[in-house]
Amino acid sequence: MLTCKEVAQLVSDSFENKLPLFQRIGMWIHYLMCRQCLEYHRQIHFLRKIYQLYTSELDIVGSRLNASLSAEARENIKVLLRNAAR
């Protein structure tokens, strides 16, 4: 049986790659016995969805911003940001 530490690692891995069937089954068997790991899985999944929604909104806003600013205005903003970082 998988340990909680192994399940936590598999949860992370599952967001990057599809896990083999035997690992997914092992995780769900573990979840039947360990509610904390199931809750961890749900929380990580929820946070990932929020992040995806947030970044997609940023992409939309960014594309609108680039479309509405002149090249000169964009360059002025870049200069101001560079100077502020110093």
Can you give the pLDDT at residue 81?
Answer: 86
Please report, for the chain, the start and end positions of each structural domain, with discontinuous segments joined by +: 4-85
Tally of CB atoms within 10 A around 31? 18
pLDDT class for 61, splitting at 50, 70, 90?
A: low
Can you give the pLDDT at residue 60?
Answer: 67
Consecutive H or E run containing 14: helix 4-16
**Which residues lie below 8 Å from residue 64, measured CB to CB, with a gap of 6+?**
none
Can you give the pLDDT at residue 54?
Answer: 80
Helices 21-33, 35-68: crossing angle, 10 deg rounding: 120
pTM of the model: 0.63
DSSP 8-state assignment for residue 20: P
Dump pLDDT digits (tens) for 26-52. 999 999 999 999 999 999 999 999 888
Residue 55: C-alpha distances to residues 49, 62, 67, 68 (Å): 10, 10, 18, 20
